[in-house]
Amino acid sequence: MTTATALIVEPGSSGVGLVDAARRLGLRPHVFDRRDRSELPPPVRAVLDAQEADFTRLEIRDEEAVVSAAGSLHHRTPLAAVIPGYEYAVETCAVVARKLDLPGIDPVAARGLRDKRLMKQTLAEAGVPVAAGTALEPGDDAAAVLAAVGTPAVVKPVNGSGSQLVRRVDSLADLREYLAAVHTRAHVDLGQVIAERLLVERYVAGPEYSVEGYLRQTAEGPVVHVLAVTAKQLGPEPVFVETGHVVEAPLPEATRAQLVATAERAVRALGITVGAFHLEARLTATSPVVMEVGARLGGDRIPWLVQHARRFDMWEATVRSHAGLPQPPSDDSARSARHAAIRFFTTERPARLPDPADLAARLQEIEGCWEAESTTAPGALLTRKRLPRTLRLRAAGGRQRS
């Protein structure tokens, strides 16, 4: 019997777990990526090295090339699913799925997901609270745009990812300084040009949370299923660097229900019909305000936190959704029983870490810590300006505390 293939495009960040998840579910993973095989993340290389997956190198930012290669692959071996492994692959995967008549997000909806300006317009029209904002195109009058939005404001690329080039501005001078810095060179992330077009939004004060979930496929159509609400820890502004996450967020049930209901409305409004989703929102005195929504798994190892706290595999749920496989429901009774967290440590002043490996080993001896990793070389100078994620500490276990 021929094994169906799951095409996973550009697995990165939390998407690295999709390759092995497809294998566990009896599908043959095939990875499309712009990087050389030697440059792929270790979890992806491990499956390839075990000869339990296949690999094609091509330029993922070239949509026509991906569509053509996927069509040729589908002709050789039946494709069961086309799954984005990273934010920048969402729209391309939607186009491929439509071309091959496979489950996928509508390409028009996917385009709106990748353009934050269109995303906010869609959400506002659906009555989902978002920050007021306007586009800032090259040649636009920055003073007029900022006057229309008001201060403080947040400026960001319309198509970026991972909080790159997102900054709070408190004055026209701040905005002009930002624009001067951004426009001095092209900004490219994994082959994706970002910051050519910007969005300026009114700053929203309040604690930040994310909602993690996936789409369950039923006879009545896709159903939004929320798995967890994550409390997000942020570094100092004016930049917005995430320094930690806690799953499940310690929230009153009524507040959590507000976030869940907002996520369900947002996901439906944006046309996310398959796969995983990750919604970020700030909690104000009146309601959650949606910052953005991704049709993919949350980054910073959030799915690992969900797995430890909820005993639920988000990678398998994502593959099942895209491939139309049966989806066993999660155990909602586990939500209040366990919690898990990750923390990225930075430094407030210049310092050197002589032996990162020794520090990581000592931290792993702490009860509840299941992984500690240092990403800096021994003796390297650490500075606040770099905001280095020098040490990643992950812990799980214990009872949820309110």
d(CA 90, CA 71): 17
C-alpha span between 250 and 259 (Å, rounded): 13
The CATH T-level fold of domain 208-396 is: D-amino Acid Aminotransferase; Chain A, domain 1 (3.30.470)
pLDDT at site 397:
52
Q: What angle do CA 93, 67, 37 make, to 5 degrees?
A: 80
Average pLDDT (29-37) is: 97
More confident site: 379 or 21: 21
pTM score: 0.92
**Better pLDDT: 301 or 387:** 301
Average pLDDT over residues 260-266: 98
Q: Is the pLDDT of residue 334 over 60?
A: no
* Residue 143: predicted pLDDT: 96
Judge whether 94 and 105 are in contact, CB under 8 Å.
Answer: yes
The C-alpha atoms of residue 287 and residue 129 are separated, in whole angstroms, by 8
pLDDT at 386: 44
Asked whether 73 and 5 are in contact (CB, 8 A), the reply is yes
User: Which position has the higher pLDDT, 170 or 375?
Assistant: 170
The set of residues, in sequence order, having a beta carbon less than 8 Å from that of 220 and lying 6+ positions away, is none
| In the predicted structure, residue 317 carries a pLDDT above the cut 90 | yes
Residue 335's pLDDT is 59
Class of domain 132-202: alpha beta
List the chain domain ranges. Answer: 5-102, 132-202, 208-396
pLDDT at 381: 86
142-174 pLDDT, tens digit per residue, is 999 999 999 999 999 998 888 888 999 999 999
| CATH code for residues 5-102 | 3.40.50.20
Task: Name which of 330, 334, 317 is nearest 17 in CA terms.
Answer: 317
Q: Calculate mean pLDDT across residues 334-342.
A: 77
pLDDT above 90 coverage of the chain, percent: 71
As a whole number, mean pLDDT of residues 249-274 equals 97
Average pLDDT of the segment spanning 38-62: 97
